[in-house]
A and B are shown apart, each in its own frame.
Chain A
C-alpha cells in the first residue's frame, strides 16, 4: 500500500464514507433505537439501540456523523457530548444485565469541545466509561469505521476486540493539533500524521487492534454480509468464555501496552 498516512486521514474523514447508521442498517437488522441518558438529555452524535446480528440480539452503539449538512449539524459532526457517553454507558449496562453482547461503531474526530460539554463533565463522562467498560460482564467488540479521535473514541473502545477498517485512523491527537503544538504550524499536518503512526496497519503492529477489515474488492451488500459473518463468528468465540476469563483477558489486553517499555 503506497498511500501516505495523511491520505488515509483524508479518506477516514471523507463525507462520502458510510457512517455509523449506514453500518447499522447494512450489517444489522431490526434496529430499534433507544434514546436518552436518563440524566439530562439525548445526544444526536451517539446512536444506540437493540438490533439483530445474524439471529442474535445485540446492543449496538454508534457515533454518527450524518451525511447532509443539516444532519451533520444535528449530530455535531460526530463529536459526542457527555450525554452521548452517558447514553452509551446506560445501554451497555442494560446489555450487561441481559447478557447481550455489545458492538460499538466508532467514528469521531474527538469528544465535543465546548463550554457546555465542560460544564457537564466531559472528562468525567469519558473516565467513567473507561472504568465501567473494563468491567462490563458481557462481550464487547469495537469497530473503528472512520476517525478514532483520542479519548472521545477510546470511550467506546475499551473492548475485548478492537477492529479497524482499512482506511480508518486511530490517534491520540489530530495531525493538525500535533503539528500546531509541536511546530506551531498546522500546515505540517501530513508530516505529523506520518509520525503519529495512526493507520490501521500501525495500530495492528503495536497490538492496539486485533484485525483490519479490508474496504475494497467487495460490493456493498457482500461487504456488509462479510462483516456480519466476521462479527458473529467472533461473538461466538467470546460467548464461550466464562465472565471471569473474559474480564481477565480484557484487562490484560490493555495492561500489556507499554509494559515492555522499560529501560
Chain B
C-alpha cells in the first residue's frame, strides 16, 4: 500500500462514513446518541464535529449558540435586545417558575436571540430561535425582539436572516402572545416594503403561530432536511379528521412538493448559500459589505 493511502485509510467504520474535522474518540465510554433515522449510535464528538448531522443525513436539533458558531464569521455576532424578557402578563399558574427553570437549564434568557453578524463578510441582521427554550414558543419577548430586529434592520438598511424553531404561540401569555403574530408581521411588512431582503430557514419543528406569521413571510424560504413544518399539529389533525396521515406529512420535503418552500438545504451548505443570497441582495453603497 502506498504510504499516503496508508496514512489516510479509514481507521474504523465511523471514519468511513464521512470526513470529520475533529479526531474521533476511541474511548469506549464516550456518550453516544442514537439516530432516529438509521438507528446507529453516533459518538457525540463526531456528531458535533459534523454540525449535529448524522452520517445518514439526519439533522439533529441545534441550540442557538452552536448554530451561531457555524453560521456567523468568528467574532462578528453582536447580540441586540437581550434585555427584553418575558413577564407573566396573565399571572398564569406555574409560568413564572417554568421561565426561571428554563432560563437556568437553557442558559438563555428567551426563546430567540437577535443581533447583527457577518456571514462570509456579508453583514446582516440575524435571529435564531432556541429549541431548548420552551421549544421556541412565541411570547411577548420573542415578538418584541423580532419586531425590534426588523425595525433596526429597516433603519440600517440591512437584510434579515432568520432561523425558525417553534411550537407556536406561548399559551401562558394568552392574547399577548397571539398579538405578537400581528406585530411581527407588521414589522416584516415595513421592512419588505422598503425593498429589503428577508430570508428564513425553517428548522425542526416550525409550527403554529410562528408558521402562520414571520416564518412564512420571507422573500426566500429555505428549510432543513426532514424538518417538521406545519400549522396545525399532526396529532390534532389525526384526532380531528380520524384519517391516517400521508407518509412524510408536514416535512420540509412535503412543503417543497406543495410549493411552500424554495429549497431544502443541508446544514453543511447553508453558510455559503446564505452568504451568496445576501450578496445578491446587497445594496449598492448600502450597509451590506
B185 contacts the other chain (Cβ, under 8 Å)? yes
| Closest CB in chain B relative to A39 CB, distance in Å | 11
Q: Are B186 and A255 in contact (CB under 8 A)?
A: yes
Interface positions, chain A 113-140, Cβ under 8 Å from B, are 113-115, 117-124, 126-128, 130-132, 134-135
Instruction: Using CB atoms, name the residue of chain B closest to A207.
Output: B179
| Closest CB in chain A relative to B113 CB, distance in Å | 16
Q: Are A122 and B212 in contact (CB under 8 A)?
A: yes
Q: Are A118 and B230 in contact (CB under 8 A)?
A: yes
Q: Are B90 and A127 in contact (CB under 8 A)?
A: no
- Chain A residues with CB under 8 A of B136: none
- Chain A residues with CB under 8 A of B189: 131-132, 134-135
State the CA gap A197–B258 with chains docked (Å). 37
Kindly identify which residue among B141, B177, B183 contacts A255, using a CB–CB cutoff of 8 Å: B183
State the CA gap A255–B250 with chains docked (Å). 31
Kindly identify which residue among A122, A195, A255 contacts B147, using a CB–CB cutoff of 8 Å: A255
Q: A150-B169, A173-B171, A258-B179 are in contact. Are A119 and B258 (CB under 8 A)?
A: yes
Q: Are B186 and A172 in contact (CB under 8 A)?
A: no
Q: Are B217 and A114 in contact (CB under 8 A)?
A: no
Contact with A along B176-191 (1 / 0, CB 8 A): 1111111101111110
Contact with B along A227-263 (1 / 0, CB 8 A): 0000000000000000000000011001101110111
Q: Most chain-A Cβ atoms within 10 A of its Cβ — which of B83, B90, B178?
A: B178
Kindly identify which residue among A117, A134, A154 contacts B232, using a CB–CB cutoff of 8 Å: A117
- Chain A residues with CB under 8 A of B259: 121
B280 contacts the other chain (Cβ, under 8 Å)? no
Q: Are B144 and A251 in contact (CB under 8 A)?
A: no
Q: Please give the number of chain B residues whose Cβ is less than 8 angstroms from any Cβ of chain A in the complex.
A: 61
The size class of the interface chain A forms with chain B is 35 or more
- Chain A residues with CB under 8 A of B188: 131
Q: Are B250 and A118 in contact (CB under 8 A)?
A: yes
Instruction: Using CB atoms, name the residue of chain A closest to B91.
Output: A195
Contact with B along A131-160 (1 / 0, CB 8 A): 110110000000000000011001100100
State the CA gap A198–B176 with chains docked (Å). 11
Q: Are A127 and B185 in contact (CB under 8 A)?
A: yes
Q: Are B212 and A151 in contact (CB under 8 A)?
A: yes
A111 contacts the other chain (Cβ, under 8 Å)? yes
Kindly identify which residue among B177, B190, B231 contacts A118, using a CB–CB cutoff of 8 Å: B231
- Chain B residues with CB under 8 A of A121: 216, 258-260
B104 contacts the other chain (Cβ, under 8 Å)? no
Main secondary structure of the interface of A (DSSP, over half): helix
Kindly identify which residue among B171, B213, B231 contacts A172, using a CB–CB cutoff of 8 Å: B171
Q: Are A208 and B179 in contact (CB under 8 A)?
A: yes
State the CA gap A173–B249 with chains docked (Å). 23
| Closest CB in chain A relative to B192 CB, distance in Å | 8
State the CA gap A126–B87 with chains docked (Å). 27
Q: Are B216 and A203 in contact (CB under 8 A)?
A: no
Q: Are A115 and B176 in contact (CB under 8 A)?
A: no
Contact with A along B122-145 (1 / 0, CB 8 A): 000000000000000001110110
B279 contacts the other chain (Cβ, under 8 Å)? no
Kindly identify which residue among A115, A151, A182, A197 contacts B181, using a CB–CB cutoff of 8 Å: A151
Binding site for A on B (CB under 8 A): 83-87, 89-90, 92-93, 139-141, 143-144, 147, 169, 171, 173-183, 185-190, 192-193, 208-209, 211-217, 230-232, 236-237, 240-241, 243, 245-246, 249-250, 254, 258-260
Q: A128-B216, A258-B140, A258-B180 are in contact. List 17 more A-B contacts (CB 8 A).
A: A114-B232, A115-B243, A115-B245, A115-B246, A115-B249, A117-B232, A131-B185, A134-B189, A135-B189, A173-B171, A195-B93, A206-B175, A251-B186, A254-B186, A255-B186, A263-B85, A263-B87
